[in-house]
């Protein structure tokens, strides 16, 4: 079974520590995504699985077969790993037809010519391009070239598919179509897939599980739902989707209910959290814009948190209204169903819709320092 096991992976380039201690297991047939900002070590992790980089420490095994084990001095070269890889640049040979491009990896594996014809046809058929096998890459659209690159990675039946930002060269519309198509294909083939992206929407839409990386570490591994609804750290909440952070101090705790005095406005809010934080400790309350609502000041519903705020800007964004509201010296973003509010409004949210993190986090640029805002 092609389960991928990565243990205590570390990689340094000179004195630059790019991977610190990365451990994860990918199940057979799973679509697993490495997500994070540029430079966090996603590609290096993928390249270590592919054998294009050699880790400084740690081990990788696929289906129980050791690919690399730094401690034991094991390193299997890339060509012996039988993995399919697609990069952001499709790297097709321009002077060769599509069929010839697909024949190359088969030639390397010494597959007989008659068998090659069937395999090439089948691989192109999987990506819906069997009719175009005689064309050259420049005679195909970007989206079609990307499918050819995928067909080339599938033609020799790899045990695992490794994809490094394969959709980033496509324009926004095509990218969304390609995303749906890739997801369907991966499910049909049931092939274990490791996907690298910095695009959170792509990660949420495609993955069975996502590993969020930061500074060479994995900060959370979970299903898209877990990553979005229960981010393990403020950094995850900020990177995946949008999030407001309100710093403060716990003033009382009753079971899971924490009452927090906010730094920004001196008001208190209640937050239900399984993470217990003792009274007196500094905390950060995180709430997504779509979990907040703005209402006219007189209309506060019962049982929710209510904060006095003023509208700074509002804009219509298609299905909803986006408000920036002022809470003391901080900006809070709200996605609301309520139109046309201005001036003094009440910001409301359910105590169960906020997350609580121990410690005060550094506020993101766009929420900080309202003193310069004059509206
Ligand atoms: N061959 C190399 N030699 C020296 N430094 C490298 C090498 N390859 C990668 N790095 C450095 O390692 C860090 C992580 O790079 P990596 O490509 O893994 O990040 P990433 O998360 O995939 O980012 P991106 O999305 O920009 O590719 C970066 O700081 C990069 O400059």
Residues 300 and 252 in one domain: yes
The whole-angstrom separation of Cα 218 and Cα 201 is: 19
Residue 368 reports pLDDT greater than 70 = no
Most informative mutation of 36, 39, 199, 214 for ligand 1 (most atoms within 8 A of CB): 39
Shortest-distance Cα residue to atom 25 of ligand 1? 38
Number of domains in the chain: 2
Shortest-distance Cα residue to atom 31 of ligand 1? 39
Share of the chain above pLDDT 90, in %: 78
Tens-place pLDDT, residues 41-78 = 999 999 999 999 999 999 999 999 999 999 999 999 99
DSSP single-letter state for residue 43: H
Residues 227 and 316 in one domain: no
CB of 216 closer than 6 angstroms to any ligand 1 atom: no
Residue 268 tokens, joined: 């208190």
Helices (H), 13-132: 42-50, 98-108, 113-126
CB of 198 closer than 6 angstroms to any ligand 1 atom: yes
Our measurement of the distance from residue 48's CA atom to the centroid of its chain's CA atoms, rounded to an integer in Å, reads 19
CATH classification of the domain holding 292: 2.40.50.140
Residues 63 and 194 in one domain: yes
Average pLDDT over residues 346-355: 96
Residue 355 near residue 287 (C-beta atoms within 8 A): yes
Residue 202's H or E segment, with its range, is helix 200-206
Residues 159 and 257 in one domain: no
The whole-angstrom separation of Cα 276 and Cα 231 is: 16
Tens-place pLDDT, residues 155-213 = 998 999 999 998 888 888 888 888 888 999 999 989 999 999 999 999 999 999 999 99
Distance 42 CA to ligand 1 centre (A): 8
Q: What is the pTM of this model?
A: 0.89
Question: Cα-flanking dihedrals φ and ψ of residue 326, to 5°?
Answer: -95, 120
Residues 177 and 38 in one domain: yes
Residues 210 and 283 in one domain: no
Distance 18 CA to ligand 1 centre (A): 7
Note the residue count of the chain.
Answer: 375
Atom of ligand 1 nearest to the CA of 198: 25
Burial tier of 238 (Cβ tally within 10 Å: 0-12, 13-18, 19+)? middle
DSSP single-letter state for residue 326: E
Question: Nearest-CA neighbor of 180 among 167, 169, 190, 168?
Answer: 167
Question: Nearest-CA neighbor of 197 among 9, 31, 60?
Answer: 31
Tens-place pLDDT, residues 107-158 = 988 999 999 999 999 999 988 899 999 999 999 988 899 899 999 999 998 9
Residue 176's H or E segment, with its range, is helix 172-189
Residues 251 and 117 in one domain: no
Tens-place pLDDT, residues 245-302 = 999 999 999 999 999 999 999 999 999 999 899 999 999 999 999 999 999 987 777 8
CATH classification of the domain holding 111: 3.40.50.300
Most informative mutation of 44, 52, 197 for ligand 1 (most atoms within 8 A of CB): 44
Shortest-distance Cα residue to atom 4 of ligand 1? 13
Most informative mutation of 18, 20, 164, 218 for ligand 1 (most atoms within 8 A of CB): 18
* Final residue before a domain boundary, out of 237, 257, 282: 237
CB of 215 closer than 6 angstroms to any ligand 1 atom: no
Please provide the DSSP assignment of 114-169 as one string: HHHHHHHHHHHHHTT-GGGTTS-GGGS-HHHHHHHHHHHHHTT--SEEEEESTTTT
Residues 21 and 168 in one domain: yes
Residue 12 near residue 18 (C-beta atoms within 8 A): yes
Residue 242 tokens, joined: 């949008």
CB of 146 closer than 6 angstroms to any ligand 1 atom: no
Residues 118 and 38 in one domain: yes
Residues 248 and 358 in one domain: yes
DSSP single-letter state for residue 215: T
Quickly tell me which residue has 């390397």 as its tokens.
108
Whether the predicted interface score ipTM is above 0.90: yes
Residue 217 tokens, joined: 């570490």
Residues 94 and 152 in one domain: yes
Residues 256 and 290 in one domain: yes
Residue 120 near residue 155 (C-beta atoms within 8 A): yes
Quickly tell me which residue has 């509002």 as its tokens.
314
Atom of ligand 1 nearest to the CA of 216: 14
Which residues, listed in sequence order, are joined to residue 355 by a DSSP beta bridge? 286
Q: Strand pairing of 192-197 and 217-222? A: unpaired
Atom of ligand 1 nearest to the CA of 46: 18
Shortest-distance Cα residue to atom 17 of ligand 1? 43
Domain that holds residue 368: 243-372
Atom of ligand 1 nearest to the CA of 37: 21
CB of 93 closer than 6 angstroms to any ligand 1 atom: no
Q: Strand pairing of 282-287 and 244-254? A: antiparallel
* Final residue before a domain boundary, out of 214, 237, 260: 237
Distance 208 CA to ligand 1 centre (A): 25
CB of 43 closer than 6 angstroms to any ligand 1 atom: yes
Residue 78 near residue 51 (C-beta atoms within 8 A): yes
* Final residue before a domain boundary, out of 212, 237, 262: 237
């Amino acid at each position: 079974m092609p389960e991928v096991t990565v243990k205590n992976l570390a990689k340094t380039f000179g004195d630059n520590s790019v991977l610190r201690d990365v451990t994860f297991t990918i199940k057979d047939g799973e679509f697993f995504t490495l997500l994070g900002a540029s430079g966090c070590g996603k590609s290096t992790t993928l390249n270590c699985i592919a054998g294009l980089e050699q880790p400084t420490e740690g081990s990788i095994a696929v289906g129980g077969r050791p690919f690399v084990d730094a401690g034991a001095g094991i390193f299997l070269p890339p060509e012996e790993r039988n993995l399919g890889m697609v990069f952001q640049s499709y790297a097709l040979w321009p002077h060769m037809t599509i069929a010839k491009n697909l024949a190359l990896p088969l030639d390397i594996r010494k597959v007989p010519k008659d068998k090659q014809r069937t395999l090439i046809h089948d691989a192109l058929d999987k990506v819906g391009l069997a009719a175009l096998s005689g064309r050259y890459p420049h005679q195909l659209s970007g989206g079609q070239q990307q499918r050819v690159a995928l067909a080339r990675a599938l033609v020799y039946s790899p045990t695992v598919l490794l994809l490094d930002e394969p959709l980033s060269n496509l324009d926004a519309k095509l990218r969304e179509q390609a995303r749906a198509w890739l997801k369907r294909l991966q499910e049909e083939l049931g092939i274990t897939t490791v996907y690298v992206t910095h695009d959170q929407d792509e990660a949420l839409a495609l993955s069975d599980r996502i590993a969020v990386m930061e500074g060479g570490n994995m900060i959370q591994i979970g299903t898209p739902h877990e990553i979005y609804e229960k981010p393990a750290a403020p950094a995850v909440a900020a990177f995946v989707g949008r999030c407001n952070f309100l710093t403060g101090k716990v003033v009382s705790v009753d079971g899971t209910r924490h009452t927090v005095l906010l730094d920004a406005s001196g008001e208190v809010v209640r937050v239900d959290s399984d993470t217990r934080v003792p009274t007196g400790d500094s905390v950060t309350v995180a709430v997504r814009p779509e979990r907040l609502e703005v209402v006219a000041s007189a209309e506060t519903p019962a049982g929710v948190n209510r904060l006095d705020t003023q509208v700074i800007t509002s804009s219509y964004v298609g299905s909803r209204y986006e408000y920036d509201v002022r809470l003391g010296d901080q900006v809070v973003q709200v996605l609301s169903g309520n139109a046309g509010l201005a001036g003094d409004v009440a910001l409301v949210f359910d105590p169960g819709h906020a997350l609580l993190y121990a410690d005060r986090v550094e506020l993101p640029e766009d929420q900080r320092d309202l003193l310069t805002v004059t509206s």
